[in-house]
Structure 1
Amino acid sequence: MRLSLRQLSVSCVALTGLLATSAHAQSAPASSSGSQIKKVSKPSAQARKKSSSGNGLSSSVLGQYTGGTEEISVTSHSVSSNGVTNRTPGGGLMPHQTAPRSQSGVTRDFIAKQAPSSNITSLVADLPGVTVTSQDPFGMTGDHLQVRGLNETQMGYLFEGAPLADPINYAPYTSTLVDSENLGSVTVSQGAPDLNAPFYNAVGGQITATALNPSHRAGGFVDLGGGSYSYNKEFIRLDTGDIGNSGVRGYVSFSHTGYDNGARGPGGLLRYHVDSKFVKEWGDGNSISAIFSYNKQSATSWRSPTKAQWDQYGVGFSYDKHFAPGESTYYKLNQQNLNQQLVVLPMHFTLADNLHLHVSPYYVHQFGPSLGGENIPASGGYFGTQQYGDLNVGTPVNGSILTSSRDPWNQKTGGVNVSADWRLSKSNTLSFGWWYAYTTHEELSDFRPVYADGSGWSGDVIRVGGKILTGYDLNFMQQVNTLFIADTQKLLNDKLTLSAGFRVAMVSRQGTNLVPGADPYKMQGNYFEPLPQFSASYMITPKDQIYINGTTSFRAPESVEAYSQIFDPNSAHATMQPQSLKPEYSISEEIGYRHQGKFYNFSMSLFNINLTNHQVTSTGYIPNTNMMVASPINIGGQTSRGVQAEFGLARWHHFSPYLSGQFLHSTFDNNFNTGSGYLPTAGKIAVQAPKFTGAIGLSYDDGRFFGNFDLRYVDTQYTTFMNDEKMPAYVTSTRKSH
């Protein structure tokens, strides 16, 4: 939201007023649009020494996240039922980091005090160089962010060791992964992914998230929230505690979330979600975890306006509340259903004192349908390139039939990531591993007639010659193999760490389209990319570190539509053609410094990113429909250079301030080939690459009452390749208290 001077003043007064307020015991966050109702729990307040259950992630010198045992000893500091310790500088926004690269994160000290609707993406909005935008007030129907001039599809998303963004269009869908009440930490690596990370799209960096570990004591946790736009969330988690002497413990949680669109038009969102995690530990560093989640989510689609429509209607540009014959913009015909089932089984084994094995098999099932209203010809329309006769269904209006255009996409991915760390000597460690993944994607669109009274749109599909009338009948298959090897050497009494590694990624894709007249009927894509990395780190003092690194990464072309034609009954020709796109490739360099002391943490880095075959995604409607498709465009080379910094104080008189900022200069390197000529885009500022971004955070927590305030600034952003249209700079703010 935009922030006025009056709103800023009110926010500051509200924060300072916390000092004079005495309230009940601390609990979890309120909604950003309302207030928390109640939270109860049965925690263990006992200070104890415990292991991390295998998801305690220790970063190696390459920045890799490998399973290890994290020992936590709590002495003079208490731990609340929601995991808050108040020990992370910046109010949970600046945890300790050791990786030789730019890396920032959030812990439970921050996560537990945010709105219950928060997700992995929205929680990192204050970190340096990260710009987050959302389609709705609660951040549940879209994950949009930019990091160093790159967007969310160019970031690798890792959850409990498994890559869980869409493996084809790279959308992260983080609201489907885990409830924020079960989220342990989130880490952003700007500019560089882990060498052993299971990605083939992470040219912009990596976002790593972990789930909370199950409690050692049986108990429960309840979270109820409500707010504006009829927002409501009900969450309950049950912990088994340690089950006898089996070494097994776990939890299961369930949540329901809903809201209305309010000023954005009719409709809303309804979400049901289940999380569970069970852990088995034994011996020295051996553990097996089982993480499962299920998400069922239905939401009214957001109608994307043109600039002229935005100028005329603003946020009121939406789908219609009332039905009329032939009216394709009726809101019930335009829905997005996002369903997901997830299983991850991270395993860590100590095979010998100097040999550790990590195995993470996973399975993800994502499916629709997506719905959009569309008028198609009652006679003389097209099935692919073949013209059909009279359909004799529905209620014709001006020669067209109103239909519900359905896209019941169905995608399944199974994979396994295996790595080993072999300590050859006290100062030398060899790491190596393999990742394999297999994805199938089926997408058969159909049309269902809508009658004059508004009925029928969930009934039988329209057929032509006994076959389902469709615009795309896609079958897509993908296999991925990556191999990596790395060597780490520690010198000068472990002050100097040198690391070098090499990864090779192999991606094989094949797609077919069974729509009559599809040409080509079958398309393939095979990509082989060598990806070296190097880093050096030196500890000047136990609290001061300098580092330098050079990394490479690549991204295979985005979206199924890059390999298949898209047809529509209103057109005799394909409305979208497949493209022969080269993979995007990045070379990044960084030099940085960080101080991590008793009273404050500070970090700063200079970076340079060079991309070739940079792909920018253009999204638009299929003509005469409310169905949107994404088309990647090769803009050529892009160079991004800049500096980022962050600063966080330890809690002082119950206050924890935080500052972050970034300067970015990102430009296109080439003139854009339009197919019929060239646009003079070389040297132009890249789209969605604001020059300045910054955030201020302030947290107060006295153990009885807490409050948070943050202020974010985003500079102007160009929206066209020619820099002739831009978004103005803006300021947003959120505040929470309890």
Structure 2
Amino acid sequence: MKTQPRVLAVLIGALFVTPVWAEQAPVKSTEVGTISIVGEGDRLGNGQMVQEDSPKARSSVTRAKIDKERSTASPYQLIDLLPGVNTTDIDGTGTSGGTLSIRGFNSDQLGFTVNGAPVNDSGSFAVYPQEYVDSENLCEVFVTQGSTDTNAPHVGATGGNVGLVSCGPLDTRRLRLSQTVGQREMSKTFVRFDTGRFFDDRAALFISGSKTGVDKWRGYGSARRDHVDAGGELKIGQGSKLSFSLLYNDMLNNNYAYVTQAQYNKTGRYTDFSNVWTKNPTPVAGTAQAGKYDSAYYNLALNPFRNLLLTTKGEFALSSTLKMNVEPYYWYGYGTGGTQENTLKESGFLDRTTGKTNAGKDLNGDGDKLDTLLVYRGSLTETRRPGATLSFAWQPLDNHHVLAGVWGERANHRQTAPATTIGADGQSNDPWLKNGLITRPDGSLYQNRDWQTYTKVIQPFVQDSIDLMGDKLNVQFGVRYADVKRDFTNYANEGSYQFRDYSVSKSWTETLPSFGARYMITPKLQTFVNVAKNFRVPGNYSYGSLLDKSGNLLAAPDLKAETSINTDLGMRYHGEMLSVSGSVYNIDFKDRLAKAYLPDVALSMDYNVGKVKTRGLELEAGTAPFAGFSFYGSYSYTRAEIQDDMPVKAADGTATTISTAGKLMPNTPKNMFGASIQYAKGAFYATLKGKYSAGVYSTLANDEQVGGYTSWDFATGYRLPDMMAFKNPTLRLNVSNLFNKEFLFLNAGSGSAITTNATGLNAQSPNYYIGAPRFTSLSFSVDL
């Protein structure tokens, strides 16, 4: 449908020339963080804009937008129309994750917070959006494109920040019940109870729970998720209060297979894991049997994961001009993922006395140690991550605001790869890899990976904000100093060339200044400029393959942290009926990390490989309702150009390069359009939204690409009259990918692991996910 991008462009263009209608009466505002959401948020851009006043590029979606999305929507789906945001969802429902990049930076190069606490993986900085929240409890999702905030708790963010803010407890008692059903046996049951104010109106609590399930749209299997959220606050008098939020998530998903272009062209849209379990061969004494598979069995490609996040906050008014905030948090995560069907040789166990993988054990009971068996083996991760931010807000003068503090954390990141047996029915002994695990002949656990990483961070910060010229001009100066230390240990294991203990200790320090200014040209028109330095330390996986095939310990790569300097120049117009925001930006990104294969030692290692220069334009506009109609539109232009060739090695170990200088960064659409139109009158609303993403390159050498596509979603709802004790009974219908568009999108889990080249020296084929087809669901909610 080649005309679809033009349709979106015309719609967005119309927004930017929409006249300003007559003023309407002011509406009530509520505060979320430091921004103001007008009314219920529906008053501007269908809940996808707020009246932003910060001196940097920033976009938000509010409760009004979130409330109209499917109840299972992930944070990625909620921000899909915001400028600079390139996001896709694996299954259309939000239950299986997806991909995200902003201004050409991958999700593991972006900071991600939930109620102020960092939730990126502490080792790799990966993001798993399906794990964090129930959308029914979200009040805001914001994006700071290009720059993190001065007090942001990140050491892995070169490309900006995404923040999730939960709704706090209500002032009045309420029980909300919600049920969603849909295609593919989809079901989500959600219950939330708010106590209302008690204890002399000083305290309030809420707790919610949900149970979700949906079948995969291709292949076999399903996604299952149980989730609990809770929160509360206690006012302790004289402007001070305590609050907390808690989330717990338990999920077990069958994964979707990714494909190469060649596989997709051969087998089509519904390509996935096999539904046939090949079984292990019948044991025969004295004969070597070998279990083999052509394609992994679907029920041995799982994503079981449990995580908990507790955030607390104490706000203390020390004087009329000085406030102190104490914000401790604790993150716990446990689980595995990927494809767990693997082979294990009975003769390949680690002998810890000799340091060789030549010990034998009879696994199938046939009396010999000659066989190779299919086992369930996963890359298991367990993380314990306490941290805290202490900050002081001081106002020495009426126009002078100082924020100073320190953030610190100590992450304990344990990564192993144990194995367990598989039954004749293709079911593993324990998909969580806790019980019935395979042991070595000496009784210790078999491990195909055995890593321990401690990451310690201390990051003091200070920011000075000054209002001048009768508050027309606001100037902000900020600086943070990051001190990061990683202690990595590889314990001898059965993994490829991993049969020796070794340890690596690395430290990075970086001074990260920022400057921002906002000037009010008129009460409705403002301009802003922002310059900020960001950085990202190397992931712990950079030190996980340092033994060659002879057991020699290679020198740990002396990796620099990635850094970027982001400069924004923008303008905003906030009228009664129309708001428009736009910015042009430049990003100088250097010491980019990438992975290169070393054929002489048969290892892949990370390297700092050069610079990327990114320039772009972002626009967004939203209207207040007029005659029942309201609009939102965004446009993004991004050109991210690689500045250096990629160093590689030939099969004989000779150093050479692959031509990447002047090429565009993969998975970075040059043009994106997004738009939504909503009609709402009384108890009824209907929304149509569309997103066009231009084609992208899939490799650093730009020798493979996928085409652009446009996808449309539709939502409608109706609030029924109250009936006795039943209040706000509401029906909602959601349809995603309305016209059943078929497309591929790049599996770009890590910015440093993007494929270098698809043809030529050391070529590899990029992997893709297949866009989900049309999906329809219906929700009903009621308050008691």
TM-score range, shorter chain: 0.7 to 0.9
Q: Which residue of 1 aligns with 2:18?
A: none
- The residue type equivalent to 2:356 in the other structure is Q
Q: Structure 1: how far apart are the matches of 2:300 and 2:538?
A: 31
Q: Are residue 418 (structure 1) and residue 394 (structure 2) matched?
A: no
Q: Are residue 529 (structure 1) and residue 510 (structure 2) matched?
A: yes
Q: Structure 2: how far apart are the matches of 1:212 and 1:279?
A: 12
Q: Are residue 583 (structure 1) and residue 558 (structure 2) matched?
A: no
Q: Which residue of 2 aligns with 1:672?
A: 646
Q: Structure 2: how far apart are the matches of 1:380 and 1:166?
A: 31
- Structure 1 residues 398, 721: CA separation in 2 closer, same or farther (over 3 Å shift)? farther
Q: Structure 2: how far apart are the matches of 1:227 and 1:146?
A: 29
**Helix, strand or coil: the match of 2:394?**
strand
**Helix, strand or coil: the match of 2:611?**
strand
Q: Which residue of 1 aligns with 2:181?
A: 226
Residue pairs, 1:499-578, within 5 angstroms: 499-515=476-492, 518=499, 521-558=502-539, 560-565=540-545
Residue pairs, 1:392-411, within 5 angstroms: 392-394=362-364, 399-411=371-383
- Which of 636, 642, 652 matches 2:610? 636
Q: Structure 1: how far apart are the matches of 2:682 and 2:555?
A: 59
Q: Which residue of 2 aligns with 1:598?
A: 576
- Residues 261-290 of structure 1: CA distance to partner in whole angstroms, max 9, x if unpaired? 13x211111000000011112445422111
Q: Are residue 615 (structure 1) and residue 587 (structure 2) matched?
A: no
- The residue type equivalent to 1:483 in the other structure is P
- Structure 1 residues 575, 331: CA separation in 2 closer, same or farther (over 3 Å shift)? farther
Q: Which residue of 2 aligns with 1:16?
A: none
Q: Structure 2: how far apart are the matches of 1:149 and 1:349?
A: 40
User: Which deviates the most, 169-178 or 679-688?
Assistant: 169-178
- Which of 203, 206, 221 matches 1:248? 203
- The residue type equivalent to 1:543 in the other structure is K
CA positional deviation for 1:247: 0.5
- The residue type equivalent to 1:194 in the other structure is D
TM-score, structure 2 as length reference: 0.79
- Which of 435, 441, 447 matches 1:464? 441
CA contact (8 A) 1:565 1:574 kept: no
TM-score, structure 1 as length reference: 0.84
- Structure 1 residues 631, 175: CA separation in 2 closer, same or farther (over 3 Å shift)? farther
Q: Which residue of 1 aligns with 2:223?
A: 269
CA contact (8 A) 1:382 1:572 kept: no
Q: Which residue of 2 aligns with 1:442?
A: 414
Q: Which residue of 2 aligns with 1:186?
A: 141
Q: Are residue 700 (structure 1) and residue 679 (structure 2) matched?
A: yes
**Helix, strand or coil: the match of 1:467?**
coil
CA contact (8 A) 1:586 1:611 kept: yes
CA contact (8 A) 1:403 1:457 kept: no
- Which of 57, 62, 65 matches 1:102? 57
Q: Structure 2: how far apart are the matches of 1:309 and 1:398?
A: 34
Structure 1 gap segments, 5+ residues each: 13-47, 60-69, 78-84, 620-628
Q: Which residue of 1 aligns with 2:358?
A: 388
- The residue type equivalent to 1:581 in the other structure is L
CA contact (8 A) 1:386 1:572 kept: no
Q: Structure 2: how far apart are the matches of 1:651 and 1:411?
A: 47
- Residues 336-389 of structure 1: CA distance to partner in whole angstroms, max 9, x if unpaired? 112101100022222111112122110000111336011222335767972324
- Which of 431, 448, 468 matches 2:403? 431
- Structure 1 residues 521, 231: CA separation in 2 closer, same or farther (over 3 Å shift)? same
- Structure 1 residues 136, 665: CA separation in 2 closer, same or farther (over 3 Å shift)? same
Q: Structure 2: how far apart are the matches of 1:257 and 1:576?
A: 47
**Helix, strand or coil: the match of 2:267?**
helix
Residue pairs, 1:111-510, within 5 angstroms: 111-262=66-217, 264-325=218-279, 326=291, 328=293, 329-370=296-337, 372-379=340-347, 386-394=356-364, 399-450=371-422, 452=424, 454=426, 457-458=429-430, 459-510=436-487
- Structure 1 residues 468, 315: CA separation in 2 closer, same or farther (over 3 Å shift)? farther
- Residues 34-76 of structure 1: CA distance to partner in whole angstroms, max 9, x if unpaired? xxxxxxxxxxxxxx99986xxx3116xxxxxxxxxx8x9x9xx
- Which of 643, 655, 668 matches 1:689? 668
- Residues 399-453 of structure 1: CA distance to partner in whole angstroms, max 9, x if unpaired? 4211111333210100001111111212222221100101101122112233556
User: Which deviates the most, 610-619 or 643-652?
Assistant: 610-619
Q: Which residue of 2 aligns with 1:727?
A: 706
CA positional deviation for 1:218: 0.5
Q: Structure 2: how far apart are the matches of 1:443 and 1:209?
A: 27
Structure 2 gap segments, 5+ residues each: 12-26, 280-290, 431-435, 598-602, 650-654, 718-784
CA contact (8 A) 2:236 2:242 kept: no
Q: Are residue 57 (structure 1) and residue 57 (structure 2) matched?
A: no
Q: Are residue 651 (structure 1) and residue 625 (structure 2) matched?
A: yes
Q: Structure 1: how far apart are the matches of 2:334 and 2:561?
A: 26
**Helix, strand or coil: the match of 1:110?**
helix
CA positional deviation for 1:609: 0.4
- Residues 305-328 of structure 1: CA distance to partner in whole angstroms, max 9, x if unpaired? 222222222333222223222355
CA positional deviation for 1:616: 4.6
CA positional deviation for 1:95: 1.1
CA contact (8 A) 1:472 1:565 kept: no
RMSD of aligned residue pairs (Cα, Å): 3.0
Identity of counterpart residues, as a percentage? 27
Q: Structure 1: how far apart are the matches of 2:634 and 2:100?
A: 16
- The residue type equivalent to 2:528 in the other structure is Y
Q: Which residue of 1 aligns with 2:750?
A: none
- The residue type equivalent to 2:347 in the other structure is S
CA positional deviation for 1:92: 0.3
Q: Structure 2: how far apart are the matches of 1:102 and 1:375?
A: 50
Q: Structure 2: how far apart are the matches of 1:395 and 1:327?
A: 19
User: Which deviates the most, 267-276 or 210-219?
Assistant: 210-219
**Helix, strand or coil: the match of 1:469?**
coil
CA positional deviation for 1:496: 1.0
Q: Structure 2: how far apart are the matches of 1:575 and 1:318?
A: 39
CA positional deviation for 1:712: 0.5
Q: Structure 1: how far apart are the matches of 2:555 and 2:362?
A: 31
Q: Structure 2: how far apart are the matches of 1:296 and 1:567?
A: 36
Q: Structure 1: how far apart are the matches of 2:552 and 2:360?
A: 21
How many residue pairs match? The answer is: 662
Q: Structure 2: how far apart are the matches of 1:86 and 1:316?
A: 40
**Helix, strand or coil: the match of 2:343?**
strand
Q: Structure 1: how far apart are the matches of 2:482 and 2:611?
A: 21
Q: Structure 2: how far apart are the matches of 1:488 and 1:234?
A: 46
- Structure 1 residues 579, 333: CA separation in 2 closer, same or farther (over 3 Å shift)? farther
